[in-house]
Structure 1
Amino acid sequence: MDVSFALTGKGYVLIAADTTAAHSIIKVKSDEDKIKELSSHLLMAYSGEPGTSSILLYTAFAEYVERNIRLYQIRNLYPLRPSSAASWVRRSLADSLRSRKPYSVNLLLGGYDTTTYTPHLYWMDHLGTLVEVPFAAHGYGSYFSLSLLDRYHDPEAPLEEGLATLRRCIAEVTKRLVVAQPKYKVKIVDKDGVREVEL
């Protein structure tokens, strides 16, 4: 039942994810942060496959990624660029897929490259597929929001316009999805780093 959205704009990446943690049809908590801050200019939204309820497994994978990217920065004295981080995460997911207990996790990885001054957004699924995209969504909300993102997304949009597009997506999911998620957490990554944004 997880829902996550992301989009790029002029010098930023916006990522939104619902805050509900559920096990089957039972809501466990409603303040779960499903967006990990991997470094000062890198964010990752994670969610399970639609129909699965193992939040512990994909939270464990998100923490594994977070710790290893921080370890890389400690060892090398500089952080991974978004494209390198996406490749490393994709490889970890693909290796997990070939193990006895694979992680069923879908990811949206957004980052700001401080060397080229450009935002990057990567879409990954539980099979290890990786693609750089201007906007993305995961979960049941993607069925309703991808057409809106296709219609209203502008890669040169200022932050206010990007937030308005995000609000449209959330309103559409709330209106049309039977088990709509009530709250979302929104984070932005740009030249100033990562911060949370109120809708």
Structure 2
Amino acid sequence: MECVFGMVGKGFAIVVADTSAVHGILVHKTNEEKIMKLDSHKLIAASGEGGDRVQFSEYIHKNVALYQFRNGIPLTTSAAANFTRAELAAALRKNPYAVNILLAGYDNHTGPSLYYIDYLATLHKVDKAAFGYASYLSLSMMDTHYHAGMSLQEAIDLVDKCITEIRSRLVVAPPNFVIKIVDQHGARECAWRQSLPSASPTFC
């Protein structure tokens, strides 16, 4: 019952993931990190089989860091997305990874961007996207409420609507979610208001 979704707003990109590690009918843990910080201005959110998801995310993270170490400059978000797609495509006919990815980042010249990469190595630059069972609910909410140039507060409100819809309608809803934002100031984690003791949010 994985839930991973994201969107692009005015000057930022936001990605959300549940924190449950599930196998069949068993929940192994509820604090799994599914959004990895590739560098100061890039995030990779992955869903899929646990081993593939962790291994492939770490592989991309280490190679992005290696490129920056060797060349002295970081990859752009577009370059990181294309590298990720190429690695999935190379593995597709050997030992494919059962992993779907949302890659978000911020570049000084192009601003925020979000890339959709599925397990078949399909790559698209998108404004909003979702993977997992949550996509049935979060995509419909985003289709209704999303618009280009959303402010950060509008995006946070929409994320809250999506999570509330998931928790109220999904048969087995994840108990916890992680929200991360990347903008000109870098990548950071935000708190979801309903996971806090107080009713008011403390977003970034």
- Does 2:59 align with 1:56? no
1 CA distance for matches of 2:179 and 2:85? 24
Q: How many residues align?
A: 192
**1:127 partner letter:** L
Aligned to 1:119: 112
Q: CA deviation at 1:155?
A: 2.2
Instruction: For residue 154 of structure 1, give the secondary structure of its aligned residue in structure 2.
Output: coil
Moved >2 Å (runs of 4+)? none
Q: CA deviation at 1:103?
A: 0.5
Q: Residue by residue, what CA displacement relative to the aligned partner does 1:59-102 show, whole Å, maximum 9, x if unpaired?
A: 10110000000000100101100111100000001111111x21
Q: Residue by residue, what CA displacement relative to the aligned partner does 1:157-192 show, whole Å, maximum 9, x if unpaired?
A: 111110000111111111111011110000000000
Q: CA deviation at 1:106?
A: 0.3
- Does 2:125 align with 1:132? yes
Q: CA deviation at 1:154?
A: 2.1
Match of 1:152 among 145, 151, 154: 145
- Does 2:83 align with 1:83? no
2 CA distance for matches of 1:155 and 1:67? 33
Quick one: percent identity of the two aligned structures? 45
**2:145 partner letter:** Y
Gaps of 5+ in 1: 49-53
Instruction: For residue 138 of structure 1, give the secondary structure of its aligned residue in structure 2.
Output: strand
Q: TM-score, normalised by structure 2?
A: 0.92
Instruction: For residue 178 of structure 1, give the secondary structure of its aligned residue in structure 2.
Output: coil
Aligned to 1:66: 61
Aligned to 2:176: 183
Aligned to 1:19: 19
2 CA distance for matches of 1:58 and 1:137? 16
Aligned to 1:103: 97
Instruction: For residue 45 of structure 2, give the secondary structure of its aligned residue in structure 1.
Output: strand
**2:127 partner letter:** P
